[in-house]
Structure 1
């Protein structure tokens, strides 16, 4: 075993410095320390002895790539994807999947402890499923390379705007992965091949949709090529001339409805291909099940679903018999959620309200009336305005389930709920929604302390 001080000595011969990797950061990079400076090393895993090549140096930290692996960690595996070393789509394929899950659980616990100064009473068992072919949503970049008179379709390279010269993708379903090369050939033949920067993939239960971001109109010949491609590969094309709201079906017009299902709750959720839905539908079903089990909605309860989106949690809660009010920031999303509710026969016990949830306060919360329970599912920015608006005890719901895509903002908000608003963090755990990436999806349960529990403490 190398002594730490010896490992951290700078070489007078300008030789690479071996370091021991202590942990992973939230980007999936190995963390080491050299002469008081933090080194973040891509491709390194905890417990490994490696050398590194820095590509960015600051006074307090360096960003680097792994050089030589002098001692491998127990979690290291051979990446399944041949493009792993250059593609920016995945960062953890060199790590065993179970170890990925354990590392993400540690990231969640560390954030709760260090940022929120809280610890859950119970660590929920981590939830994970298939690690390959799971990605039903993806945004592929398109680049015409004039020198080669060729088109690239795929994810961007690490730390670069260049598009990976890829022929397949292991994390997308095989039927879509197999379309990458045909798509390259298709775009090469289009008149607007230099004005088509993006293809968005959106897969449903009964139809696969490809949204072409077009900066110029198609010619009749372009249209004919797209129609032939759609017929041959059994997909539907949408065209998007402007922002996401401008996407419209091009061909075939009579394709099946784009939707996902939550069979456990007898729910069919139609969506437009540019609207937000989870990229991993099988894990979304597990996430909804866990959230509902923690929330435990009952008939006649009044429940708030904040950042409700299309109603991914709202409708299952309503199916359990509770009255649910969904709050969302965009008028279009509120309208779609209301339509989905009626489509599933849940219009009577659901209501959807357009609200900027980043700009609410105690007065707003009091006007909404009392909620027995609350579900919060914010974007990466978290829900600081929501949790601070619960300062008055009489309007605090007795139970809150918080679904998070950013452990740092979850921890910050948990600190407010526990230390200012009198809640207990009863449980927390991760859901591995994005295998082979450093993305941490998590869920936490908070319960309002009663006089009895406070006295017991």
Structure 2
């Protein structure tokens, strides 16, 4: 055997834990490899599996379970026939209730290990439907000559390849059940080799597909795309270059909106804008966050990383004044437009890069009673260290990455004198390893 070639002969391992990306964790017991860590896709804690090695490094090996010798009582049959190949959701083999419990434990472990903090109260997990929930995403596209067809889907577990899927049960059915039809249509285009991705996004009444194309499209391709949109009730957009190049193909105009009925708010957005992917969970999350923030009459609220105003506009229905800050100037303008359309005059929006020095920003010199923030994966360390926190009564932190939340919580508690009173998880992405969480901080408790 060549020196660098991996021996793919299956061997047994005992799974003792779960990694942050949803793989089983084991320690090898065979010969010279004894004690080396191994990450095994498709395996659950407590199981003994036969594993085929797929990768290695000095610190750990990687593999996939090819036979379950002793199954966990929490194992269930995956709903999707593409499970184990497609990387879109890696936890379908784990009972849904156990999935959210695993995510809650990951949050608590991160808070303790990284932030050296423990919440006074662990909030009950926030959940909604676990199938057909995803209303925004990106499919990769690849024309494969050897297979004689075009593949449309998420990446395989080996990210070099596009999964050959016909449907997706986590994506909303209007899109998820038409992946095969989409692939078949693209395969008929002259430009099938020049379309690397298709993004999808759904409003309440309109579903948009955005086709990224690297070369100009022929008239025949344009007609095929239009007919596909008409046949399946999709608004078709083209993206020949960067984000600014996106434009409608069919129909000539379309309007993407979603309503937050509990607050009599409607938000309009563009096809590549960020919106929360899970509509049902998003509405529950807003109510949850506003309840935890508990704004009172006459108070001023600061909403950082506010995007289109997903939290800001509902807050404006219950607070005296709300100030939203976001780094993307386009999103800020659309947030302002959304406030105007909803008749909200007590809300202000500002564009600012919250990872940069902010001392010259007018809004940071204002006084606020409460703070809500919803940063990207990098967290909010920079802006938190620049804010005048002393005047705040409460902070509610919505997080899409438990590691950065734990780091920021550690600074707030151990350096800035706040108390982590509550924390919990929210299942924004069922069947994936993604952990969405929320934390509440109060001063001097």
Query: Which TM bucket (shorter chain)?
Result: over 0.9
Does 2:151 match 1:152? yes
Q: Residue 67 and residue 144 in structure 1: after superposition, are their counterparts in 2 closer, same or farther (change >3 A)?
A: closer
Gaps of 5+ in 1: 1-13
Would the aligned equivalents of 2:375 and 2:398 in 1 still touch at CA under 8 Å? yes
Equivalence map 1:98-113=2 (5 Å): 98-113=97-112
Report the counterpart of residue 441 of structure 1 in structure 2.
436
Identify which of 13, 16, 22 aligns with 2:16. 22
Report the counterpart of residue 313 of structure 2 in structure 1.
315
Identify which of 365, 368, 371 aligns with 2:368. 371
Task: For residue 48 of structure 1, report the CA deviation from its aligned partner.
Answer: 1.4
Q: Deviations over 1:425-444 (max 9, x none)?
A: 01000000001100000000
TM-score by length of 2: 0.93
Does 2:299 match 1:301? yes
CA distance in structure 1 between the aligned counterparts of 2:58 and 2:219, rounded to whole angstroms: 58
Task: For residue 173 of structure 1, report the CA deviation from its aligned partner.
Answer: 2.1
CA distance in structure 2 between the aligned counterparts of 1:133 and 1:309, rounded to whole angstroms: 24
Q: SS state of the match for residue 157, structure 1?
A: coil
Q: SS state of the match for residue 103, structure 2?
A: helix
Q: SS state of the match for residue 276, structure 1?
A: coil
Report the counterpart of residue 418 of structure 1 in structure 2.
413
Report the counterpart of residue 31 of structure 2 in structure 1.
none
Task: For residue 42 of structure 1, report the CA deviation from its aligned partner.
Answer: 1.1
Report the counterpart of residue 90 of structure 1 in structure 2.
89
Does 2:55 match 1:56? yes
Would the aligned equivalents of 2:300 and 2:319 in 1 still touch at CA under 8 Å? no
Q: SS state of the match for residue 193, structure 2?
A: coil
Q: SS state of the match for residue 182, structure 1?
A: helix
Report the counterpart of residue 283 of structure 1 in structure 2.
281
CA distance in structure 1 between the aligned counterparts of 2:243 and 2:360, rounded to whole angstroms: 34
Does 2:227 match 1:242? no
Q: Deviations over 1:79-104 (max 9, x none)?
A: 11000111111110110100000000
Q: SS state of the match for residue 426, structure 1?
A: strand
Task: For residue 163 of structure 1, report the CA deviation from its aligned partner.
Answer: 1.6
Q: SS state of the match for residue 115, structure 1?
A: helix
TM-score by length of 1: 0.91
Gaps of 5+ in 2: 1-7, 29-33
Does 2:391 match 1:405? no
Report the counterpart of residue 11 of structure 1 in structure 2.
none
Would the aligned equivalents of 1:20 and 1:48 in 2 still touch at CA under 8 Å? yes
CA distance in structure 2 between the aligned counterparts of 1:178 and 1:52, rounded to whole angstroms: 32
Count of residues paired in the alignment: 433
Would the aligned equivalents of 1:169 and 1:177 in 2 still touch at CA under 8 Å? yes
Segment of structure 1 superposing worse, 223-232 or 130-139: 223-232
CA distance in structure 2 between the aligned counterparts of 1:119 and 1:362, rounded to whole angstroms: 32
Does 2:383 match 1:386? yes
Q: Residue 367 and residue 202 in structure 1: after superposition, are their counterparts in 2 closer, same or farther (change >3 A)?
A: closer
Task: For residue 188 of structure 1, report the CA deviation from its aligned partner.
Answer: 2.1
Equivalence map 1:110-121=2 (5 Å): 110-121=109-120
CA distance in structure 1 between the aligned counterparts of 2:88 and 2:9, rounded to whole angstroms: 32
Task: For residue 417 of structure 1, report the CA deviation from its aligned partner.
Answer: 0.4
Identify which of 352, 360, 368 aligns with 2:349. 352
